[in-house]
Structure 1
C-alpha cells in the first residue's frame, strides 16, 4: 500500500490476477482478524519509544463507504442521515520533544450493529462505544512500557470521569480538552471556578491548518489552576474514588480576526502545573493533536483514499482499514523524517532489498556541492526520505518549500518501479 499509494486490490496486484486473488483470500481468511492486525501495529513502536517522553494521541474517525439501499455491504450507520461505514479509533505515538511520529500503538476498528440499544446512561461502560478510550489507553501501557513517560492526549470525547479515575499512574499522564462542565467536590463547577481566576500571561500561538480552518496565528490569554472533579452521581462503576484532583489550563482569544470564531480551550491534565511556563507546555502538547488529524487525511482524501474501496463485506473492509492505517503512518513518518530531527532507522519503513535500492539511487543525487548532497546519515529514515522526495520532484534546496505528502506519493511511485527493477538485477534472463 505504501509503495503503490492505494488500497485497491487490483492496483496492489499490479496486473497479476493470481496476486489479486491471493490478496482477496488473505482478507477473507478467518484466521486473519482485525484484532491480530491491530496487535501488530505496536510491535515496532514499542522499540522506537524506548527512553522517550511519548505523546499518545487518540481519536476516532468515521470511514464512509458507498452503498445502495439493496446492498449496505453489512456496514452500520455513521454520522447523521443516510451514511454507512465503519469506525477507526487509533492511538499514535509521538516524541514529545521533536513531534516525530513513532508509530501506531493500538486501537479499534468496528462496525455498528443494527439492534436498538438501551439509553446510554443506563448501560455499563463495557456496553458503550466510549469504552474504546479507556481500553486503548490501558492496552497502550504494555506497548509503551520502555518510554520514560507517557502523556495520553484526547479531544473532548475522552473527557469523562472513568478515564481520570482509572488510568493515571506515576509515568502515565492524561491530558484532555474539557467537554463536560464537571461538578467540583467543594461545590460549583469547573468552568465557574476557572472564570474566577485572572489571566496571567499572553502569547502568540501558531495554529496549524485543519479541515475546518486555514493555518493562522492567534493571540491568546492564559490562566491555570487546580480543581477536584466530583464523581458523577449516576456512575455505577465500582472501586472508583469520590473525586480526582487535576490541573486545568485555559487559553482564550480575546480579539480574533473579523469573521473568525475565537479559539477557546479549557484543558485538564494530571501533570503538575506550577508556573505559566508549565501551562504553555500543556497547550503545546495539546496542539500536537493536529498530527492525528493529518493521519486521517492521509488515510482518506489526501492519500490512500480508503473510502473508495469496493470490497463487498464489512468484515473485509475492517481488515483493509486496519492494514491501511499502518501504511498511512509509514507515509507520515517519511514526510516528517525530511527534517532529520529524529534519527530513526530506514528499516522502520523499508526492507533490506529496498534499502539497497535507495543506496544505489543516492548516486544519482550526489550533487556537485555539499549543499546539494543528502545531509542525513546513510541508513537513517531521514536519508531515505530525502531520496524519495528527490524522486518525487523536490529540488533539495534549503530555500525551497519542504516536500509534502503529494511529493512523497509521487516519489514512492517512482521508487516502486526502481525497486522492482533492482530486485531483478541478479535474475538470469535466457
Structure 2
C-alpha cells in the first residue's frame, strides 16, 4: 500500500493559496477554512468548526458569487499539474466518474442520478498518480456534471444525441481536455475503464497524440470483418508472469494471478462511417489456469504503446492494474470524508465544500493500492 501524505497544517496555503475570489482577505480565509475542514474528523459541517465564528465565515464565503466550483478547485488543479510537469517518470492520469448523492434535499441546479429518482451530480475525476509507486500527485481535473431531466431527451434521434454537448459520454473528452497535453519530455498516460470505450474518446486520444490505456468494452467488427475480441483470443501468449490483480465490483479483492498476454496492431473503423479508422494497439491479458471458484482475469485493452515486445505488454498491463486507485479515492471521498453527508442547505455550499474536502482527501493521503506486482 502506498500513501502520499501531507501535514494538515499548511494544506490550505498549498492547495488554495492562489485562489482568486475577488478579495485578498477572502482568499486567505479560504486557506484557513480548508485547514480546519481537513483537520476535523466530524461529519456535520457545523461540527467541523469548533468556533462558531468560523462557521459563520464559511457561510458568508460560500454565498459569494465568485466562490464557484471552478474557482475553488483551480489552485489545486494547477498545483497538481505542476507536480506532473516536474515528475520525470511516467504519470498515470486515472479517469472515472462517481455519483454524489444528495437525494431528499430538494436543492436546485442538480440533476437526476441512478435510475432517475435520485438527485445529485456526476463527479468526473482525473487523478494523477506516480506510475512506479502508485503515490497520488493530486486531482488534475474535477468536473461536476448535471444530468438533464430524462424527459428532456425524449424524441431525440441518435444523431441529435451525438451532437448534444451535455451528454454524459462527453465527460471523458472534457476531462482529457481539462488535463491538457503533456510537455515535451514528459510521459502522461491516460487510463480508464470500459465506460470510456467510445470512438469519440479514442479519436481524441489518438489525434491529440496522447498516451493511453483504455479497456475495451465493444467487440468491434474490424475492416476484415473479424471481431476484435475474437481476433485477440486467437493469438498465442507472448509474455507470461505472476502479478497482483484486483477483480470484482468496485475494485474487488486483491489476489496473485498467473497471467499471459498477447497484442497486435489494429484498425478501428468509425461506427458512423464519417471519420477515418483509428490505428491503435490492442492486447489481451488473461489467466490461463485460474483457481477454482473465481472468475478468471480477461482484459481487452487499447493503447498507443507498441506491443511488439514482452516488456511492452507487461508495462501496459501494469498501467491498467493501477486503475483501482481512483476507486479507492472515491471510497475515501464518500466514506472517509463523508462528502455526501455534510448537512448543507444550499447547492453553493456543496459546490464549495466538495472540492475542498476532495482535495483534502488527496492531500492527506487517500488509500491507494499499487495492484501490480
- CA distance in structure 2 between the aligned counterparts of 1:47 and 1:146, rounded to whole angstroms: 14
How far apart, CA to CA, are the structure 1 residues paired with 2:354 and 2:158?
A: 28
Match of 1:270 among 304, 318, 327: 304
| 8 A contact 1:138–1:167 mirrored in 2 | no
Match of 2:356 in 1: 323
Q: 1:6 to 1:329 in 2, by over 3 A?
A: farther
Aligned to 2:24: none
How much does 1:108 deviate?
Answer: 0.2
Of residues 317, 320, 323, the one that matches 1:289 is: 323
- What are the equivalent positions in structure 2 for 1:66-85 lying under 5 Å apart? 66-67=103-104, 71-74=105-108, 75-80=110-115, 82-85=117-120
- Give the C-alpha shift of residue 43 in structure 1: 1.6
1:189-240 deviation line (CA, Å, top 9, x unaligned): 21122122122332222124874622212222222111100011266xxxxx
Structure 2: gaps (5+ residues): 1-36
Tell me if structure 1 keeps the 8 A contact 2:251–2:324.
no
Distance 1:259-1:198 versus aligned 2 partners, 3 A rule: same
Give matches, 1:189-268, under 5 Å. Answer: 189-208=227-246, 211=250, 213-233=252-272, 241-268=275-302
Aligned pair partner of 2:165 in 121, 126, 144 = 126
SS in 2 for 1:312: coil
Contact 2:193 2:215 in 1 (8 A): yes
Name the TM-score, length of structure 1 as normaliser.
Answer: 0.69
Q: Cα RMSD between the aligned structures?
A: 2.6
Cα distance change, pair 201–78 in 1 and its aligned pair in 2 (3 A): same
Structure with higher Rg: it is 1
* Structure 1 alignment gaps of length 5 or more: 236-240, 340-430
- Structure scoring higher RCO (CA < 8 A, sep ≥ 6) equals 2
Tell me, yes or no, if the aligned pair for 2:61 and 2:67 is still in contact at 8 Å.
yes
C-alpha spacing 1:90/1:7, structure 2 compared with 1 (3 Å): farther
Does the alignment pair 1:311 with 2:344?
A: yes
The 3-state SS of whatever aligns with 2:206 is coil
Distance change >3 Å, CA 244–CA 58, structure 1 → 2: same
* Alignment TM-score, normalising by the size of structure 2: 0.79
Tell whether the 8 Å contact from 1:9 to 1:23 is kept in structure 2 after alignment: no
SS of aligned partner of 1:2: helix
Which residue, out of 313, 316, 321, partners 1:279?
Answer: 313
1:45-73 per-position Cα deviation (integer Å, ceiling 9, x unaligned): 12212233211110000112341xxx532
Cα contact 2:123–2:145 (8 A) shared by 1: yes
Please state if 1:59 is matched with 2:78. no
- Please give the secondary structure, in 1, of the residue aligned with 2:121: strand
For residues 35 and 66 of structure 1, the distance between their equivalents in structure 2, rounded to whole angstroms, comes to: 23
> What SS does the aligned partner of 2:365 have?
helix
SS of match in other structure, 2:340 = helix
Q: Distance in 1 between matches of 2:97 and 2:338?
A: 17
